[in-house]
Amino acid sequence: MDWLNKQIKAPDKSYYQQALSKQQQLTKPIGSLGTLEDIAVRLAAMQKSSNPSIDRVWVSIFAADHGVAEEGVSAFPQIVTTEMVKNFVNEGAAVNVLSRYVKAQFEVIDVGLLKPVELNKLIVNRAGNGTANFTQQAAMTEKQLTKALLAGKSAVERAIEHNTQLFIGGEMGIANTSSATAIACAITGLSVDQLTGAGTGLSSKEIQHKSQVIQNALLLHQKHISSPLKILQHIGGFEIAALVGAYIFAAQQGIAILIDGFISSVAALLAVNINSQSQQWFFFAHQSQEKGHQFVLEYLKAKPLLDLSMRLGEGSGAVVAVPLLQMACNLHNEMATFEQAKITVN
């Protein structure tokens, strides 16, 4: 897993300054387009281009099952993970609709469903038959962790073959908010009660039960979760590990990354703790309604682009934000300067 620690170059400073200078010459008060200006300038630096663009978007959905589902921490039965994978492949999920709208390349990867399924267009890159129940033992072995991380790396390699300009990772896995919450607690030091949310739609009593399950698991593993990778191995999920691998490798390759909601942001949190330079390549799409997301974003000092009260996961919130990035680029590239418009500013 040495590749995770390989150097990540920063976006190009000269293109950043050039883009910043251009923004100050466009026919508007300086800063009046707010975050749209910042997006364009950052993308110019990432792409080393005077005319940044987001025309080629790649969406990878990583799916896996969780042993902790046995503890009754989700409002949905575990079979829903596989049923949703079939829905993704048949292009019937929300993220499919949104991906079509932004003309994104779309793929679904089985990183560890409970049972293998044969589906056309499903990419199979399995680390195991779901994770173990982390209330009783480590969620995965070191070998499984390595496989899951490499599944994320492989997705980015496919994206590179298509010259993608923006990578989006999504996830599907019943009970994965429990795993993500446990990881967030282990890294941030915040309490389980602070971070535990409703996930797929639990009642307050069910949230209490979920919180207790996570608390017990953290106590069980407290002596072993001494590093981000150990945290991932003991209380993580295969799809979360795949996202971590994808985010780090995409950053190493100089590809802009748009982070989705709670689960994806926890994967980003792990990525930053493994390779701190990766965050320079992240955009955070939205503030999820899932309770812990706000705390994770605050810990990362990340400013989300949108707040639409979404909590679906599967990369949906990130794809919704794609047009914002595209509009930011168009404004940067196509607006007239004061000189071109013959507008006097002095």
Q: What is the CATH number of the domain that holds 31?
A: 1.10.1610.10
Distance, in Å, from the CA atom of 335 to the CA atom of 346, rounded to the nearest integer, reads 20
Q: Which of 220, 202, 218 is nearest to 210 (CA)?
A: 202
Let me know: does 236 contact 184? Beta carbons within 8 Å. no
Enclosing domain of residue 250 = 57-328
User: Is 94 in the same domain as 17?
Assistant: no
Identify whether 1 is part of a domain.
Answer: no
Instruction: Name the active-site residue from 161, 314, 334, 339.
Output: 314
User: Is 237 in the same domain as 191?
Assistant: yes
The H or E element containing residue 85 is helix 79-89
Distance, in Å, from the CA atom of 265 to the CA atom of 297, rounded to the nearest integer, reads 7
Q: Which of 287, 51, 85, 228 is nearest to 170 (CA)?
A: 85
Structurally, the chain folds into a number of domains equal to 2
- Residue 306: phi, psi to the nearest 5? -135, 160
User: Is 29 in the same domain as 141?
Assistant: no
User: Is 76 in the same domain as 192?
Assistant: yes
User: Is 27 in the same domain as 73?
Assistant: no
Distance, in Å, from the CA atom of 23 to the CA atom of 20, rounded to the nearest integer, reads 5
Both structure tokens of 119: 């589906």
Identify whether 2 is part of a domain.
Answer: no
User: Is 147 in the same domain as 239?
Assistant: yes
pTM of the model: 0.98
Distance, in Å, from the CA atom of 130 to the CA atom of 239, rounded to the nearest integer, reads 10
Question: Quick one: how far is CA 100 from the chain centroid?
Answer: 19
Distance, in Å, from the CA atom of 295 to the CA atom of 280, rounded to the nearest integer, reads 20
Identify whether 224 is part of a domain.
Answer: yes
**Does 314 participate in catalysis according to the annotation?**
yes
- Collapsed DSSP state (helix, strand, coil) of residue 228: helix
Identify whether 93 is part of a domain.
Answer: yes
Instruction: From first to last of the 346 residues of the chain, give the pLDDT tens digit.
Output: 899 999 999 999 999 999 999 999 999 999 999 999 999 999 999 999 999 999 999 999 999 999 999 999 999 999 999 999 999 999 999 999 999 999 999 999 999 999 999 999 999 999 999 999 999 999 999 999 999 999 999 999 999 999 999 999 999 999 999 999 999 999 999 999 999 999 888 999 999 999 999 999 999 999 999 999 999 999 999 999 999 999 999 999 999 999 999 999 999 999 999 999 999 999 999 999 999 999 999 999 999 999 999 999 999 999 999 999 999 999 999 999 999 999 987 7
- Collapsed DSSP state (helix, strand, coil) of residue 37: helix
Q: Residues with Cβ < 8 Å from 212, sequence gap 6 or more?
A: none
